[in-house]
Amino acid sequence: MENRIVVDTNVLVGALLSGAQGDNREVLRRCFRDAAQPLIGTTLFYEYEELFDRPEPLANSPLSYTERQRLFSAFLSVCEWVKVYYLWRPNLPDEGDNHLVELAVAGGAEVIVTNNVRDCRRGELRFPQLRILTPSEFLETN
């Protein structure tokens, strides 16, 4: 059984900005190899979509716009769609990150993979079965 994970948008950005190496890219590779099952919901989908449509944060990417769109489509094809029916509101320091925890809980994820572990670990509502890991921590443990 593969790991059910939520991949934060900042991991995708890191993967798109790095070269062929790097922990962010390896997280995506594991998703493509069925070693991890990425989950996606409405809010995260729109966040991803906005990222891939904006040229500014990805101006230094080694991939062209067309290549980034293909990567996005390929990544979506391996994601499992999860409907979030209940909003837990874990009260993270960045309100915009609460949806990651809600998606993880709704989809039975074991891990949220993010480069922003500090904020994601500081919620008032905690779920003991859910780990918040950096890409390198995720790769070390899986």
pTM here is 0.87
Q: Is 3-141 assigned to CATH 3.50.50.60? A: no
Helix (H, G, I), strand (E, B) or coil at 29: helix
In 14-43, which positions are buried (b, 16+ CB within 10 angstroms) versus exposed (e)?
bbbbeeeeebbbbbbebbeeeebbbbbbee
Predicted confidence at residue 86, as pLDDT, reads 63
pLDDT tens readout for residues 60-105: 888 888 888 899 999 999 999 999 876 655 554 455 567 888 899 8
- Given a contact cutoff of 8 angstroms between Cβ atoms, the answer to whether 53 and 86 are in contact is no
**By CB neighbour count within 10 A (0-12 exposed, 13-18 middle, 19+ buried), where does 3 fall?**
middle
Per-residue pLDDT band for 116 (boundaries 50, 70, 90) equals confident
Give the DSSP letter of residue 79: P
Paired residues of 108 in beta bridges: none
In the chain, what are the domain boundaries?
3-141
Predicted confidence at residue 75, as pLDDT, reads 95
pLDDT tens readout for residues 27-71: 999 999 999 999 999 999 998 988 887 777 777 888 888 888 899
